[in-house]
């Protein structure tokens, strides 16, 4: 027997590519001065991380999502409470994982077989708060017959696709998990473990 039909909603925070969104708007002269100081200080830390990555990990790729991506560096600094050492460590792991998983090579064609099942997709429209919407239809997920590696590739491809739809100033995507029709054949502990291991690699901020 299948469990009670339901739909779960989750919100994930991701990088939106906007430097100043970390600092709330302030109005008093003293607060404005502090805001300017914070922005200046944060950018100094970004450059420090950037230089350390170049010196200590020159083999890492550059460009978008690379060791010199200042937007991504700023987000990892925020995640690590502006600790340069911690940000460098986490960034290095994330960038290396993206290389090993060949994230930049994922295309709709490369995941077409599972993509066409409709088990997961990025909605054409944003939600009322302007966030991209990732929909997962659990009843169409069959780990017993579907290649687990292909499932992982589809997952990463769709998250990357959703990230591309985030507008400047936003930092979240909305995930809707449709549990209607869910049965034991749809359960997949291995995939949940994959998500748990890769959460920090896929997300830019917690």
Task: Write down the pLDDT at residue 32.
Answer: 42
CA distances from 26 to 34, 35, 107, 108, 133 (A): 9, 7, 42, 43, 31
At 19, the pLDDT band (50, 70, 90 cuts) reads very low
Note whether residue 2 is domain-resident. no
For range 139-158, the mean pLDDT = 96
Average pLDDT of the chain to the nearest whole number: 83
In a domain, 49, yes or no: yes
Q: Which of 70, 103, 136 is the last residue of a domain?
A: 103
Q: Which residue range forms the structural domain that includes residue 57?
A: 19-103
pLDDT of residue 78: 87
pLDDT at 199: 59
Q: How confident is the model at residue 157 (pLDDT cuts 50, 70, 90)?
A: very high
Query: Do 153 and 99 share a structural domain?
Result: no
Residue 127: per-residue pLDDT: 93
pLDDT (tens digit, 9 = 90+) per residue, 64-76?
999 999 989 998 9
Structural domains of the chain, count:
2
* C-alpha to C-alpha distance for 126 and 148, rounded to whole angstroms: 29
Burial of 168 (0-12, 13-18, 19+ CB in 10 A): exposed
- Residue 36 or 168, more confident: 168
| pLDDT greater than 90 at residue 51 | yes
Answer with the one of 74, 103, 132 that is the final residue of a domain.
103
Pairwise CA distance, residues 32 & 25, whole Å: 8
Whether residue 98 contacts residue 64, with contact meaning beta carbons closer than 8 Å, is answered with no
Please give the C-alpha separations between residue 146 and each of 79, 101, 150, 187, in angstroms, as whole numbers: 35, 19, 8, 12
132 CB-near residues (< 8 Å, 6+ apart): 122, 123, 126, 162, 163, 165, 166, 173, 174
Write down the pTM of the prediction.
0.75
pLDDT for 6 equals 59
- pLDDT classification of 9: cutoffs 50, 70, 90: low
Please tell me the predicted confidence (pLDDT) of residue 45.
94
Rounded mean pLDDT of 106-135? Answer: 95
């Amino acid at each position: 027997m299948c469990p009670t039909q339901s739909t779960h909603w989750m919100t994930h925070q991701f990088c939106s590519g906007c430097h100043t969104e970390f600092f709330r708007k302030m109005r008093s002269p003293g607060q404005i001065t502090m805001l300017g100081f914070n922005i200046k200080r944060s950018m100094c830390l970004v450059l420090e991380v950037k230089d350390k990555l170049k010196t200590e990990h020159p083999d890492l790729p550059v460009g978008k999502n690379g060791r010199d991506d200042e937007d991504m560096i700023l987000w990892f600094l925020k995640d690590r409470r502006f600790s340069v050492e911690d940000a460098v460590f986490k960034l290095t792991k994330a960038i290396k994982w993206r290389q090993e998983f060949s994230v930049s090579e994922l295309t709709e064609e490369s995941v077409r077989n599972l993509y066409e099942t409709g088990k997961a997709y990025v909605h054409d429209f944003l939600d009322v708060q302007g966030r991209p919407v990732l929909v997962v239809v659990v009843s169409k997920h069959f780990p017993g017959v579907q290649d687990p590696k292909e499932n992982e590739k589809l997952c990463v491809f769709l998250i990357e696709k959703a990230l591309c739809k985030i507008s400047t100033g936003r930092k979240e995507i909305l995930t809707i998990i449709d549990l209607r029709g869910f049965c034991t054949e749809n359960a997949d502990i291995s995939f949940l473990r994959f998500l748990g291991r890769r959460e920090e690699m896929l997300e830019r901020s917690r």
